[in-house]
Chains A and B, each alone.
Chain A
Amino acid sequence: MLMFSFIIRLKKITEGMKIQLFGISKDIVGQRELALPNDPSLQTVMDLKKWILHQYPRMGNLSSIGIAVDLEYAEDDQPIGQAKEIALIPPVSGG
C-alpha cells in the first residue's frame, strides 16, 4: 500500500500539469500554456527551469526567469509535485 501510494505520487508530479505563460515567454513558446511531459526527473523548480531552457533556448536570453507555484514566487529547490498551478514569470514590467 505504501509502495503503491509512492508510485502514484511520483507519477502525479508532472502528469497533466501545464505551465501558464505570459508576456515574452508566451511569444517564445507560441501558446498560452506548456504541457509538461510525464518525466519523474522533473522534481523541483530548478529541474523545471532547466527543462524549459532546454526546450526553448531563447528563454536563456531573458533577463530572468521566475517560477510561481500556487501564486507565490518559488525558490529553485522547491518541489513542484504537489503544485496545483505553475506559471513561468518572465521579467515583470507593470506600472
Chain B
Amino acid sequence: MTLKPVIQFIPRGRETGGLLAWVIAVMVYLCGLSLAGGFGVKNAFSGWTGELTQSLSIQISHTDSAERERQTGAALVLLADTPGIAEARAMTNRELADLLEPWLGSGNLTDDLPVPAMIDVTLAPNTTIDTGALAAHIRTVAPDARLDDHQQWIGRLVDLAGAVEWTAAGIVLLIVLSTIAVVMLGTQAGLAAHRGSIEIMHLIGAEDKTIWAEFRYRFMIHGLKGGVIGLALAAGTVLLLTKLAGKLGDGLMPQFRLEIWEWAILAALPLLAALLAIWTARLTVMRALSKMM
C-alpha cells in the first residue's frame, strides 16, 4: 500500500479539513496531559505505598522523658530480636523537630514540650509481619507504644490513585470519542465539498478504494500533523509543570516519573491519532460511497 494516492483528483491546497489538524492537535494535547497525569500519579502513589508497606512507625507517648526513653530502649531491644525486621532506629530530636516544623515553625520546639519518641522500623524485603501480634508484644515492654503500619494511609492512597487513574481513562475515552465525531464531521464536509469530483471519478469507473486513497492520505497527514503538534505542546506543558513542582522542594510533591512503556504510549500518540483519523474517515467515506450506485 503506497501512502500517497496514485490518482489525485482533489485540488491540493483547497481541501477542507485544514482545521482538522488543529482540532486533532488539541485532542492529542488533552489526551497527552491526561495520560501523563494518570501515569505520573499512578507511579507516585505506587512509590509511596511501596515505601509505606516496607516500614512501620512506633510512637511512644509519655510525659515523663525518663520513662519515655526507658520504653524506647526496651522496644528497640525487643525489635532487634524480632525476625523480619531489618532495622529499628529511634529518631533523633533533630529529625522530630524537622517533622514538626511545618506545624510549629522553625525553632519553636521547646525542651519542655513532651514530644513523643518515634521509632522508625524498616522491614526486611518481602517480609510480612503480623502487626497486631507485634504491637501486643511491644506493649509488654513499652506500655505506651502505639504501632502505626500506615494501613489507613495506604488504603486512602490506593483509593485516590484508583480514582485518578479511572478519571484519566475516562477523559481519554471522551477525547477519543470526540475525535471520532470531529473526524466524521470533517470527512462529511470533505465529501460534500468534493462531491462533484467524486461523482465524476465514480462514473468514469474509479473503484471505491481509489477514491478512498485520496482521503486516506489527507487524513493521515492531518492526524500526524495534529498529533505531533499536540504531543509537543503536551510535552512542553508536562516539563513546565514538573519544573514548577520541583521548585516546591523535596517531600512536598512526589517526583514525576514515567515508565518506558508509558513514554512509548505518549510518543505513539501522533501515530495513534493518525490511525484513528484514518479509521474513522474510512468508515465515513465508504458508507457515503456505498450509497452511490
Does B associate with A?
Answer: no
